Amino acid sequence: MNLESELCRLKAENRHFDRANGGSVTDLVITCPECGTSYKADPKAIGPNGRTVRCANCQATWFVPAPDIIAKTKTPSGEMKTAAAEGAGQDMADAIALKDDLQSEEPALVTPLKAPKPDGRLQASEIQSSSSDGVKGADVMLRDQADAVRLKRRKRTIRLIWIITALLSLAAIVTAYLNRQEIVNRYPQAASLYQSLGLEVREGGLTIDPPTAKTTLIEGRPVIRIEGALRNLSKEPVDLPLIEMTLHDPSGAERVQWFVEPAQTRLSAQGRLPFVTEYADPPSDVISLRYRLVSP
C-alpha cells in the first residue's frame, strides 16, 4: 500500500467517523493494514510530522501521516478541498520524506475503537487501553481485583486466628481461676504463683480464717478467748486435722502451746466451720498468737 492510497483511506475513514459522531471531532480513525483493527488516535500524539504506530492486536507497525496531510488528501470518490489543493502534493512529498526519518522512532500507542461487533460483543483487542491515558488494561484490572480478593481473604483468616487464640487464652485463664485449689492440690508448687497474684489457695484445700483473740476475766482469772473458722477451698470434702495454737513473748519465744479439735471430722466442699477455744491464766508477757493445721 503506497502513501497516497493510505492517505485517501484515512481521509474516508475520518469523514465517516465525523458524520457518525454528528460533527467535527479531534480524534483520528486509523486502521491496521495487517489485521484491519480500527483505532482512534489523538492528533497531538501523531504530531505535525506523522508517527509510526503499533497495532495492539497483531503488533504490526505502520506510518501515519500528519493530521493536516490527511485533511488535505482527496477521498476515494474524487473529492478535493479546493482551498488546500495546491499544497496537498507538497505536503504528501514532505510526508514521504519524513517517513524514512521516523521509522526508527518508538511506535506510538493508539486507543482501539470500542464499537461493538455485529454480535454485540467486544473483541479482546478492543478492550485494551492507551497507556498515554493512564488507564489500566482489562488483564491488569482483573489481576488487581484477584489480588484484592486474596488480600481480603488473608486478612480475614489472620483476624479469625487471633480471635480463636484470644478465646482459648481467656478460657484457660477462667478455668485456672475457678479450679485453682484443685490445681494446687495436684501441683503444690503452683500455690506460690497464685499467691503472688493475690489469690487465696492452700495446699490440701484447707485454710483458717484469721482468728480474733480477746482477754477476759472469768471468776477473777484471766482467760484468752480465740474465735476463728476453718474453710475448705476445694470442690471436694476434706478430712479436718487438729489446729495448733501457740502464744509467744516479745522475743518470739514460744511460751504456751495447745491443740483445738474441730467439732466435726470432715468438711464439705467449699464449706466453713467456726471454732472457739480458750486458755486460762496465760503468762503475763505473751503478746502474739500463732496457729496452724497439724496431723493428729
Q: What is the 3-state secondary structure (H, E, C) of 91-146?
A: HHHHHHHHHHHHCCCCCECCEECCCCCCCCCCCHHHCCCCHHHCCCCHHHHHHHHH
Place of cell 491496521: 32
pLDDT at 75: 46
| pLDDT at 274 > cutoff 90 | yes
Report d(CA 39, CA 202) in Å as an integer.
Answer: 88
Interval 178-225: pLDDT, tens = 887 778 777 777 877 887 887 766 667 788 888 999 988 888 899 999
Instruction: Report which of 237, 239, 240 is spatially closest to residue 269, judged by C-alpha positions.
Output: 237
Instruction: Tell whether pTM > 0.85.
Output: no
Nearest partner of 291 among 198, 221, 228, 197, judged by Cα: 228
Residue 175 has pLDDT above 60, yes or no: yes
124 confidence band (pLDDT: 50, 70, 90): very low
